[in-house]
């Protein structure tokens, strides 16, 4: 069947993801092939000490993104987009959108980017004996209680950005379990919010006398593949302002950007992980069992199917590395040579592979911002060496590639020391653009084979489109990991690199220096700030 017939017959899935700087839409066929895409750029606003997006911006952005996609379908295939097989929405995890019984937003959207819930995060972690990061929705609600905010008594429902959009388009207050796991802890056996902890929370705020209990405020939790409602008449008009799109299209559970990243890299099975390495770096490790204790460095969330995931998130990755590459660009131009950035990155990255295994005694920190894994509220990029260090270009670049993964490695080592085992890591993001280099460094840091797939760059919008397709096209009893492996990624080409023992040994030596040198970074932050 040709693309035009596929679109006309509605044998498609649409995924739309609200990223922090871009809203992206992807239309795929039943094999996951991209037929058309659209996007809308946007920026969060800092208003009254809160990082936020207005609801106006949400709807204008969504509508513009959808029209861009529909325009692409029209231009490419000569078709008006009247129907779609299934639709899914995803967004930035966490945050706080509280509504009253009339569906009115009670306070501006508080995004994941806000670090304003330290008191709540600490107290809830203590009460639950479960790590509750500052960005989680429940931390925002409890901090509002601690702050005595007037709106709390009127809360009838609170949700995330993806959950809000889904609710408005379908009338259903639901969340995919991966997204829900960033609101409140999940009971992975029941595939629902943890009832015991809900009871603990209600007891904690009992004296406040609010006219609600927590369970009534939370959305319904659904796992991948479950029915999450259909596009209503009003929802169709809200999504497509031209009125061309028909109502009645089924929607999959709204998911998180972390969950869609797992789907897009085929890393939802146990003993697998995906690592996204760009401005920040995070690893999503699918666990076989609960960890032995609470680690403040590790977030516990789930896959879209409800399997337990340990998330290791480092705030800093390639920003400082990019700054050094730009410095070399300036040097090239000063010498009268025009610098092609792809060639420059490729040359410098590959040069790093020629360096000493342990970077020749060089040390660097890529802390543009604070780093919670090592306990830094603020950061200061830093390069240091001794008079005995082997100061070569190869070692210099190698040290900056190593340090991009320094904090991540500390988090991964916590998991390994707890008995976690991994068979494979799927890598995606800017660090892997130069063939073989980022992979080799990641394999050295994690001691696990690292694979990069051709589709890794498709991103979260593609991931949520796959989840929408799974809901509609799965066979009875077919699991998400089986569906992705057999229906989407069966013929997917990938490149896998095994860890080189010399690189692994060298990275361990570098990390000894990295940990020992943290007081130098601390001094830089304190003195240079």
Q: What is the pLDDT of residue 458?
A: 65
* Mean per-residue pLDDT pooled into runs of 10, the chain (529 residues): 94 95 95 96 92 97 98 97 98 95 97 90 96 95 98 98 98 98 97 98 97 98 98 98 98 94 92 89 93 93 96 92 96 93 95 98 95 90 97 98 98 97 90 92 97 75 97 97 94 91 98 98 93
Q: What is the pLDDT of residue 20?
A: 85
Give the domains, in start order, of the chain with CATH numbers. 266-315+409-496 (3.30.420.40), 319-404+502-528 (no CATH)
Q: What is the pLDDT of residue 345?
A: 95
Q: For residue 176, what are the β-bridge partners?
A: 222
Q: What is the pLDDT of residue 1?
A: 83
d(CA 524, CA 529): 8
Q: What is the pLDDT of residue 377?
A: 83
Helices 393-404 and 341-352 pack at an angle, to 10 degrees, of 90
- Cβ–Cβ under 8 Å, residues 522 and 376: yes
CA dihedral (384, 387, 390, 393) positive or negative: positive
Backbone angles phi, psi at 126, to 5 degrees: -65, -45
Collapsed DSSP state (helix, strand, coil) of residue 187 = strand
- pLDDT, tens digit, 9 for 90 and up, residues 466-518: 999 999 999 999 999 999 999 999 988 889 999 999 999 999 999 999 999 99
Distant-in-sequence contacts of 321-325, Cβ < 8 A, 24+ apart: 321/366, 321/400, 321/401, 321/404, 323/381, 324/400
Q: What is the pLDDT of residue 341?
A: 93
- pLDDT, tens digit, 9 for 90 and up, residues 389-412: 999 999 999 999 999 999 999 999
d(CA 134, CA 123): 11
Collapsed DSSP state (helix, strand, coil) of residue 520 = helix
Q: What is the pLDDT of residue 305?
A: 97
Q: What is the pLDDT of residue 455?
A: 66
Backbone angles phi, psi at 51, to 5 degrees: -80, 125
Q: What is the pLDDT of residue 430?
A: 83
């Amino acid at each position: 069947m040709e693309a035009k017939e596929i679109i006309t017959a509605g044998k498609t899935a649409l995924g739309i993801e609200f990223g922090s700087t871009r809203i992206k839409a992807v239309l795929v066929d039943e094999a996951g092939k991209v037929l058309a895409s659209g996007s809308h750029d946007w920026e969060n606003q800092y208003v009254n000490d809160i990082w936020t997006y207005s609801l106006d911006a949400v709807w204008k952005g969504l509508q513009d993104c959808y029209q861009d996609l529909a325009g692409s379908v029209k231009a490419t295939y000569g078709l008006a987009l009247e129907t779609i097989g299934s639709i899914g929405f995803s967004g930035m995890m966490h945050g706080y959108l509280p509504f009253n019984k009339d569906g009115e937003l009670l306070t501006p959207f508080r995004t994941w980017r806000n670090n304003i819930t330290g008191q709540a995060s600490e107290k809830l972690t203590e009460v639950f004996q479960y790590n509750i990061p500052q960005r989680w929705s429940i931390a925002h609600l409890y901090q509002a209680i601690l702050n005595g905010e007037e709106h709390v008594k009127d809360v009838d429902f609170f949700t995330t950005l993806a959950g809000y959009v889904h609710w408005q388009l379908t009338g259903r207050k639901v969340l995919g379990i991966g997204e829900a796991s960033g609101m409140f802890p999940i009971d992975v056996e029941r595939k629902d919010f943890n009832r015991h902890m809900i009871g603990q929370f209600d007891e904690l705020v009992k004296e406040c006398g609010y006219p609600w209990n927590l369970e009534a405020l939370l959305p319904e939790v659904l796992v991948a593949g479950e029915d999450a409602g259909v596009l209503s008449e009003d929802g169709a008009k809200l999504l497509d302002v031209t009125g061309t799109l028909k109502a009645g299209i089924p929607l999959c559970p709204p998911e998180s950007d972390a969950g869609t990243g797992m789907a897009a890299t085929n890393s939802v099975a146990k003993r697998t992980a995906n690592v996204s390495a760009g401005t920040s770096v995070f690893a999503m490790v699918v666990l076989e069992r609960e960890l032995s204790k609470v680690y403040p460095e590790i977030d516990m969330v789930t896959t879209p199917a409800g399997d337990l995931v340990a998330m290791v998130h480092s705030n800093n990755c390639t920003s400082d590395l990019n700054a050094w590459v730009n410095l070399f660009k300036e040097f090239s131009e000063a010498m009268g040579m025009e610098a092609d950035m792809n060639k420059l990155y490729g040359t410098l990255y590959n040069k790093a592979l020629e360096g000493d295994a342990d970077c020749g005694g060089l040390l660097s920190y890529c802390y543009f911002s604070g780093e919670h894994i090592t306990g830094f509220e603020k950061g200061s990029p830093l390069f240091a060496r001794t008079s005995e260090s082997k100061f070569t270009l190869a070692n210099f670049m190698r040290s900056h590639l190593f340090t991009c993964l320094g904090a991540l490695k500390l988090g991964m080592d916590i998991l390994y020391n707890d008995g976690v085992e991994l068979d494979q890591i799927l890598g995606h993001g800017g660090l892997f653009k130069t063939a073989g280099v980022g992979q080799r460094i990641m394999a050295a840091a994690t001691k696990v084979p690292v694979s990069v797939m051709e589709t890794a760059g498709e991103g979260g919008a593609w991931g949520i489109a796959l989840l929408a397709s799974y809901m509609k096209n799965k066979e009875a009893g077919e699991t998400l990991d089986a569906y992705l492996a057999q229906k989407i990624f069966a013929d997917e080409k990938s490149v896998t690199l095994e860890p080189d023992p010399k690189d692994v040994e060298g990275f361990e030596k570098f990390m000894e220096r990295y940990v020992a040198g943290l007081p130098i970074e601390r001094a830089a932050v304190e003195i240079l700030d």
